[in-house]
Amino acid sequence: MKARVHVMLKDGVLDPQGEAVRHALGAMGFDGIEGVRQGKVIELDLADGTSEDRVAEMCERLLANTVIESYRIEVL
Amino acid sequence: MKARVHVMLKDGVLDPQGEAVRHALGAMGFDGIEGVRQGKVIELDLADGTSEDRVAEMCERLLANTVIESYRIEVL
């Protein structure tokens, strides 16, 4: 089975990468960009039968820093 | 409108970040992890009416390195 984990900075946490992308797009002539947030996506190829709870445990312990990041699990 | 862009390394391109995550998960006792690929997700807050083609242009010119990365656009 495959699972995809999205890790994004929580709202209110400054995102310098996203800001850099926003400025760069503006400088390249792309107008009307009101905000950019950048996060990570991690695709896991797992043994069949791995539970979503197990993936959540991976997120809590390694994949996300839950102080500043939120995560979302999508089982494919 | 909002758009989400997923940028992943193309198949066959070595992914050291993903490999590091795989090893770390294994070392933490998570078994059966056959592969991990790590990519970026970029959430764009755009002016209404921005076309998907325009977002594709942003990907081609800035957000993805299309030599080694593929991208996927999701309009939210």
Give the pLDDT of residue A46: 96
| Residue the block writes with tokens 């056959």 | B34
Q: How far apart are the C-alpha atoms of B8 and B49, rounded to whole Å? A: 26
Residue A63 DSSP symbol: I
Q: How far apart are the C-alpha atoms of B47 and A26, rounded to whole Å? A: 13
Q: Does A70 touch chain B (CB under 8 A)?
A: no
Q: Domain holding A46: CATH number?
A: 3.30.1280.10
Q: Which of B1, B11, B43 is most worth mutating to test chain A (most A CB atoms within 10 A of its CB)?
A: B43
Total count of domains within chain A:
1
B40-50 confidence digits (pLDDT tens): 999 999 999 99
Query: Which residue range forms the structural domain that includes residue B49?
Result: 2-75
A2-33 confidence digits (pLDDT tens): 999 999 999 999 999 999 999 999 999 999 99
Q: Note whether B71 and B52 are within 8 A (CB).
A: no
Q: Note whether A58 and B25 are within 8 A (CB).
A: yes
Residue B12 sits at φ, ψ, to 5 deg, of 95, -15
Q: Average of pLDDT values for A57-76?
A: 96
Look at B44 and A62 and tell me if their CB atoms are within 8 Å: no
Q: What percentage of chain B has pLDDT greater than the value 90?
A: 97
Look at B37 and A42 and tell me if their CB atoms are within 8 Å: yes
Give the pLDDT of residue A8: 97
Give the pLDDT of residue B21: 97
Q: Min CA distance, B67 vs chain A (Å)?
A: 19
Q: Does B18 touch chain A (CB under 8 A)?
A: yes
For the beta sheet containing A69-75, the strands, ordered from the edge strand earlier in sequence to the opposite edge, are: A69-75, A2-9, A33-46, B33-46, B2-9, B69-75
